[in-house]
Structure 1
Amino acid sequence: MCGIAGWIDFTRDLRTERQTVEAMTATLSRRGPDASGVWLSPHAAIGHRRLSVLDLEGGRQPMEAARAPGRPPVVLTYSGEVYNYRALRGQLTSRGHTFTTESDTEVVLRAYLEWGAGFVDHLAGMYAFAVWDAEREELLLVRDRLGVKPLYFHPRPGGVLFASEPKALLANPLFRPRIQLDALPVLFNPRLLMPGETPLSDLHQVPPGHLVRVDRSGVHTTPYWRLVSGEHTDDEPTTAAHVRELLSGIVSEQMVADVPTCTLLSGGLDSSAVTALAAAEHPQLTSYSMDFEDGDTDFRPTPLRPERDAPYAHAAARHIGTEHIEVLLDPSRLADAVPAALAARDLPSLGQFDTSMYLLFARIRERFTVALSGEAADEVFGGYPWFFDRATVDRDTFPWLGNGPRLTDCLAPDVRARVRPDDDEHDRYATLLARTPRLDGETGLEARMREVLYLSLQGPLAYLLDRKDRMSMAVGLEVRVPFCDHRLLEYVWNVPWKMKTGDGREKSVLRAAVADLLPSSVLDRRKSAYPATFAPAHGARVRAELDALLSDPDSPLAGLLDAEAVRRLGAHSGPMMAVADTLHLLLPLIEVDRWMREYRVTME
C-alpha cells in the first residue's frame, strides 16, 4: 500500500514545480514509509510514497514504460493491491510483454499498455492509481469497484491536482479548504455523502468503480463497473458452497505478501470466517482484537452492540488455533490520539471510533505490515439490526439512520431554514434509490431489501472503509478486506433476501458457508459492531468539550447551533438502533469544530 500525488497542468511548465510536488508527496510519508519518488515533465508532475509489500527490492515508483523504444512514456503512480496480478502477468507474457520486477505495479502498467483504459476490467483488488500517458497527453485516475482505497482530486482550469489524501492537495498553494453552509448535514453525518462527494468545496473523490479522464478538454468521469441484478437459480446448499469457494479463493489471494501478515478477529461471524480460512493455509497465524480496560464493568448493551467481543474473540482464536493478542485501551487516554487521528483523516474525526482504531493499528504495526479484516460482510450479506425491523425498513428514508434523532436537529432555527436538512436527506435518498439495480418482476419485501442493501453499500460502507484506510495507513499498516471483492459481491447481490435469511437469522448464507470452521458460540452470535466505550471518564470529557464549544463565541460553529437543542439531545437516554448513545451522536459537533480550527477551514 502506498500514497500517490500529482499535478497536471496544460498551461505551465511543471518541471519548475519540483519543490511543490515533493512537498505534496512528503505529506503521505506515513502511507509509504519505505521509499519515495517524483517524476516531472512539462505538463505532468507525479509523486509516490511506497509501503513495500510485494517485491521489496523492485516495484519502485513512479514506474514508467513505453509502447516502443523512443516513444513518449506511460507513467504510473499506484496504491493498493491487484490480487490477480499473477494470472494477469501470465496473460501479458503470452502477449509478448516482458517484466523486470515481480511487483503487481508493473503488471498494472503493462496491462494499460496492452488494453488501454479497458485494462480496468481485468483487475481484481483494492487500488487507486494514476496513469499519465505522455503520448496522448492524458491522465487516468482509477479507483477500485467498492472504493476501498481513496483518491481525491481538485479540478483546475488547466488540469487537476490529485492525491490519496486531502493533506497532499493542501500542500499545494492552489488549493484552499472551504465549505459551504449546505455541507453541514454531511459534516455531521458523513454516511450521507454521495459517491465521489466530499464536504470541501471543489474537492472530489473518484467514485468507486469509476475512472476520471483528464486531458486538454477538461475532466471527465466515467463508470467502468456497476452491480447488475439477475435471477439467482442456485439452491441454498449450492449457494453456500459457492460462497465458501469464492471466499476461500479470495482469502488465499489476499494472504500473498512478502511481509508479515495477520488478521483482525473480533469474535464475530465475519472476522472469524476470514481468520479461519486464512489459518487453513497459514497455521502460524496471529490474530488481534481490541477492548477497553474495565470494559466488563462499563459495558452497556445496545441494539447494535448487544454483547462484548472479548469472550467470543478468545473462543474463536482457541478453536482456530491462532496466536491471539488482545489490545486493551485505557478510555481516559483516547484523547491523546486525537491529533494523530485528525491528521490521518484531514476531515472531521469520528472521535473514539477513530482514536481507538488508530491505537489498535499502531500496536499491530509493531509486528505486522498487512492485516485481513471482516469489513463489509454486513453490507454484502445483510447483518445490521435495522435490516430486520420492518417499520425501519418501510420508512421512506435511509434505513441505516435507524430510529434516532438527527444531529441537524441541533442547528439554529435560521440556519436550519437555510440548509433544509430534511429536504437534503430526502433528495440524497431519492437519488440513490433511483440508481438501485432492480430485478424485473421483483416485488414486496424482496424488492425493498434489494434497495436497502444497495443503500447500505453506498455512504455507510464508504464511511467504514474510509475510517479503516485512514487509521491503518497512518501507521503504515495495510488492511485488506476480502468481503469487498467484487466477484463475491456480484454473486451474493442476487441471492434472494429469503435465502440470505434462510435460517431465520442475519447472514444465513455466510453462516452456512463456514459452519464447519467455527465454534457454535461464534457461529450463532448476533451482530455486534466495533466496540464503543461507555467509560465515565470518556463521557465526562465529551460533556466538558461540548459545554466549552457551546460557550465559545470564537468557535467556527458559533451561531450555527441551538445550544438548548444540543443539551436536550445530550440528555436523551432512550435506546437508539444506529448509535451507541447520544454522546456518541453529538461527537461530530466537537470534531467539526476542532477540524475547522486546525485546518483553518473557511465557510462560504
Structure 2
Amino acid sequence: AQGKQLQTFSVGYRDNKKYFHATKFQPGADAPYIRKMNDFLHARHHWITLDTPELVPALYAAVDARDLPGMADVDASLLLFCRQIKPHATVALSGECADEIFGGYPWYRDPAVREKYGFPWAQSTAYRASFLKPGVLGSIDPAAFVDARYRQTLAETSVRPGLSAEEQRMRQMMNLNFKWFMQTLLDRKDRMSMYSGLEVRVPFCDYRIAEYLYSVPWEYKDYRNQEKGLLREAMRGVLPDEVLWRRKSPYPKTWNPSYLAAVTAELRGVLTDPAAPILRIIKADALENLLTSGADNPIPWYGQLMTTPQTIAWFVQLNYWLEKYKVELV
C-alpha cells in the first residue's frame, strides 16, 4: 500500500536437506513452498539458516528469556530466528493459533488420538516421572495432578445441550488447546521474540475469530476432509494452489545428528559434576539411559517435535535453570 516491498523470513537448518526424513507429523521440507510463495508475493525473502554451534548456547538464552526450562531447541531456534529478523524489522506477523482455532493438529483429526483420554500432546506423564529420584515428589502424584487439570478443563468446556458426541468432543479439544497448548506457544513466541526486541503479532489469535470458530461445526472446520479446510476454502484463488492444499507441516526442527551429539556432550558434562543441581532431583542412571537410547525414542517429551535430542536438551536447560535461579528444594 505504501509502495514498499514486503519482507519475508524463514528458518531452516544447515544440512537439513541431507538429514531430513519425512514423518507422520512432518511430511515434507518447507523450502519449495517458501520459493513458490515468494515468487507469488514478489517479496524480499531472508533465508535464515541455523547450525548446531549456535543452537546449543541458545538453549541457555532461551531459559533466560522464558525464566523456565522450555521446549529446548524448539524455543532456542525461534530465539535465534527472531534475533536475525530484528535488524530488518521491528514488527513481524506470524501464523500461531491457526491450528488450534481451525482444527489443524493431528489430535483433532485422527479419531484414535482424539478419543484418547488425557492431554493429547502430553501422554508421557509416567515416562517423565520415571526420571525423578525417590522421595522428591513427597505426596505429589504426577498422574493425579495432570488428570485433575484435564478433568477440570473438560468440566469448564462450554457445550450446549443437544450436540452429538463428536461435536461435544471437538468442543473439549478446542478448549484443551485454547487453555494449554496455545498458551504454551503464545508464551514461547512472546518471550523468544521480545528477548531480541522484536514485536511479533499473531492475527489468527484475534478473539473475534476464536470466538466465532469455537462453535462452527467440525464438518466445516474439516471441510472436504482437509486440515483447516474452512480456512483453505476461504483462501481459494488468493494463494497458489500448491501452497493452499499442502499438507500441514509444523515449525521445523534440526535433523542434523551433530545436534544430538552436541546436546549429549553437554549433558554428559553436567553428569561429571557431582555438585550439578539436577542430580539432587533426577536419577543419574535414567539420564545415562536417555543418552544411550538413540535418536528415535518413540515417546515425545511434549507435542510432536520433542523427541530424544530435545529431551536431552531439556535436561540441560533444567540444570542451568536450577543453578542460575538458585532453586532450593524444601
TM-score (norm. length: structure 1): 0.51
Match of 1:346 in 2: 67
Match of 2:111 in 1: 390
1:341 aligns to what SS in structure 2? helix
Match of 2:45 in 1: 324
1:303 aligns to what SS in structure 2? coil
Match of 1:381 in 2: 102
Query: Structure 1: how far apart are the matches of 2:134 and 2:325?
Result: 27
Q: 1:491 to 1:511 in 2, by over 3 A?
A: same
Match of 1:359 in 2: 80
Match of 1:166 in 2: none
Q: 1:596 to 1:282 in 2, by over 3 A?
A: farther
Query: Structure 2: how far apart are the matches of 1:338 and 1:403?
Result: 22
Residue 208 of structure 2 is aligned to residue 482 of structure 1: no
Offset, 1:593:
1.0
Contact 2:103 2:109 in 1 (8 A): no
Out of 525, 528, 537, the residue aligned to residue 249 of structure 2 is 528
1:371 aligns to what SS in structure 2? strand
Match of 2:34 in 1: 313
Out of 190, 194, 215, the residue aligned to residue 494 of structure 1 is 215
Residue 322 of structure 2 is aligned to residue 596 of structure 1: yes
Query: Structure 2: how far apart are the matches of 1:301 and 1:470?
Result: 30
Offset, 1:420:
1.5
Query: Structure 2: how far apart are the matches of 1:301 and 1:585?
Result: 20
**Cα displacement string for residues 165-185 of structure 1 (whole angstroms, at most 9, x for unaligned residues):** xxxxxxxxxxxxxxxxxxxxx
Match of 1:585 in 2: 311
Query: Structure 2: how far apart are the matches of 1:549 and 1:380?
Result: 41
Offset, 1:471:
1.4
Offset, 1:321:
2.3
Contact 2:60 2:320 in 1 (8 A): no
1:410 aligns to what SS in structure 2? coil
1:347 aligns to what SS in structure 2? coil
Match of 2:140 in 1: 419
Offset, 1:283:
6.3
Contact 1:468 1:479 in 2 (8 A): yes
2:55 aligns to what SS in structure 1? helix
Query: Structure 1: how far apart are the matches of 2:312 and 2:60?
Result: 19
Contact 1:286 1:322 in 2 (8 A): yes
Offset, 1:588:
2.1
Gaps of 5+ in 1: 1-279
1:479 aligns to what SS in structure 2? strand
Offset, 1:416:
5.2
Contact 1:446 1:498 in 2 (8 A): no
1:558 aligns to what SS in structure 2? helix
> Which residue identity does 1:361 align to in structure 2?
C
Out of 396, 408, 424, the residue aligned to residue 129 of structure 2 is 408
Comparing both structures, which one devotes a greater share of its residues to helix? 2
2:225 aligns to what SS in structure 1? coil
**Cα displacement string for residues 66-90 of structure 1 (whole angstroms, at most 9, x for unaligned residues):** xxxxxxxxxxxxxxxxxxxxxxxxx
Query: Structure 2: how far apart are the matches of 1:402 and 1:302?
Result: 19
Alignment of 1:60-75 (within 5 A): none
Contact 2:75 2:188 in 1 (8 A): yes
Out of 53, 58, 61, the residue aligned to residue 337 of structure 1 is 58
1:457 aligns to what SS in structure 2? helix
Q: CA RMSD in A?
A: 2.2
Out of 227, 238, 253, the residue aligned to residue 517 of structure 1 is 238
Higher gyration radius (CA): 1
Contact 2:71 2:310 in 1 (8 A): no
> Which residue identity does 1:554 align to in structure 2?
A
Offset, 1:587:
2.7
Contact 2:104 2:227 in 1 (8 A): yes
Offset, 1:406:
3.7
2:197 aligns to what SS in structure 1? coil
Query: Structure 2: how far apart are the matches of 1:530 and 1:403?
Result: 21
Out of 173, 193, 197, the residue aligned to residue 472 of structure 1 is 193
Offset, 1:569:
4.4
**Cα displacement string for residues 235-279 of structure 1 (whole angstroms, at most 9, x for unaligned residues):** xxxxxxxxxxxxxxxxxxxxxxxxxxxxxxxxxxxxxxxxxxxxx
Contact 2:59 2:317 in 1 (8 A): no
Contact 1:392 1:402 in 2 (8 A): no
Query: Structure 2: how far apart are the matches of 1:526 and 1:403?
Result: 27
Match of 2:21 in 1: 300
Query: Structure 1: how far apart are the matches of 2:79 and 2:179?
Result: 24
Contact 1:380 1:492 in 2 (8 A): yes
Offset, 1:485:
0.4
Gaps of 5+ in 2: none
Comparing both structures, which one devotes a greater share of its residues to strand? 1
**Cα displacement string for residues 49-101 of structure 1 (whole angstroms, at most 9, x for unaligned residues):** xxxxxxxxxxxxxxxxxxxxxxxxxxxxxxxxxxxxxxxxxxxxxxxxxxxxx
1:475 aligns to what SS in structure 2? coil
Query: Structure 2: how far apart are the matches of 1:456 and 1:428?
Result: 13
Contact 1:373 1:482 in 2 (8 A): yes
Q: Give the structure, 1 or 2, with the largest relative contact order (CA under 8 Å, sep 6 or more).
A: 2
Count of residues in Structure 1 that have an aligned counterpart in Structure 2: 325
Query: Structure 2: how far apart are the matches of 1:369 and 1:382?
Result: 30
TM-score (norm. length: structure 2): 0.90
Choose 573-582 or 519-528, whichever is displaced more: 573-582
